[in-house]
Amino acid sequence: MTGPQVVLVGPMGVGKSTVGELLAERLGCAYRDTDADIVEAEGRSISEIFVEAGEPYFRDLEREAVRAALAEHTGVLSLGGGAVLDEGTRAALAGQPVVYLSMNVGEALKRVGLNTARPLLAVNPRQQWKLLMEARRPLYTEVAGAVVATDDRTPEEVAQAVLDALELKEA
């Protein structure tokens, strides 16, 4: 098999990393996160990249990280919340087993919090999250073959819902 078994997309704080690690464990495969790839390659946090080099520079790094991961990784892959903003990335996700993990704004603020190092939520997090989601929700939906709501579910329940949605069997 080429390409990932599962690709998780969704907003920051939805639990892509937690659920991704659980899925990888259940499927008996490796887990990879494109944000972690960028942090490792750059030797600095995503917040630092945004502040020091700007969002366009980060988006270039993100585009390349996603392209590389889709080509190389055969396990569970999580993409950064804004990866779907890139048209080339959306095209590359066509035909991939993509699941959009969704949540409502109340849940997002509970998980992401108001005192956060997330650069896109620095001012008025509730309003910023709503604006981000208005822009991104249609893109997440466009690339996803399945949508799994995470509200009021444990990570284990979300992981099971992803397996069910993709009709994958545990290892």
Closest CA to 20 of 99, 116, 113: 99
Share of the chain above pLDDT 90, in %: 68
Listing from the earlier edge strand, what are the strands of the sheet with 98-102?
A: 31-33, 76-78, 6-9, 98-102, 146-149
To the question of domain 6-166 being in CATH 3.40.50.300, the answer is yes
Mean pLDDT score across all residues of the chain: 88
Mean pLDDT of 55-70: 95
pLDDT at 105 over 70: no
pLDDT at 77 over 70: yes
Does the CA dihedral 24-77-12-163 come out positive or negative? negative
pLDDT at 40 over 80: yes
Side chain identity, residue 43: G
Residue 122 belongs to what H/E stretch?
Answer: none
Write down the pLDDT at residue 117: 52
137-163 pLDDT, tens digit per residue, is 999 999 999 999 998 899 999 999 999
pLDDT at 59 over 70: yes
Write down the pLDDT at residue 122: 56
> In the block, which residue shows the tokens 């790094």?
61
Mean pLDDT of 91-110: 83
Distances (CA, A) of 86 to 33, 43, 157: 17, 23, 30
Q: Enumerate the domain spans of the chain.
A: 6-166
Which one has a higher pLDDT value, 126 or 23?
A: 23
Return d(Cα 162, Cα 5) in angstroms, integer. Answer: 11
Write down the pLDDT at residue 165: 93
108-134 pLDDT, tens digit per residue, is 666 555 445 555 555 666 677 678 788
